[in-house]
Amino acid sequence: MYLLEVLSGPLDGKTWVFEREITIGRDDALAEACLALDRYVSRRHARLAIEADAIRLEDLRSRNGTRLGGQIVVGDVPLPVGVPFVVGRTVLRVTRT
């Protein structure tokens, strides 16, 4: 099991537990991890998926992009546990529960 945590942004401290896949976005009908207060987040912005005990981060063609290590995420990239990434103006990270 993994924990998606907001490190900074309008929902600072908010968390979501997931074990397979979780979508991040502004629309709670389309995203399990809803960041409704960040107007720079798309309705369906990014997705985290677990593959063979590794986490993959994918930008879902969001308007403002997803950043990892200061670089724009293109397609699907590996996301090391504990490394922060940015969706809109919200900084998030994934840890193990």
Identify the pLDDT of residue 22. Answer: 98
The token pair at 78 is 């590996």
Helix (H) or strand (E) holding 85: strand 85-87
Kindly report the pTM of this predicted structure. Answer: 0.95
Identify the pLDDT of residue 9. Answer: 87
Q: How far apart are CA 70 and CA 45, in angstroms?
A: 17
Identify the pLDDT of residue 2. Answer: 96
Identify the pLDDT of residue 27. Answer: 97
Identify the pLDDT of residue 8. Answer: 95
Identify the pLDDT of residue 84. Answer: 98
Which residues in the chain come in under a pLDDT of 50?
none
CB within 8 Å of 66: residues ≥ 6 apart = 45, 46, 57, 59, 72, 73, 85, 86, 87
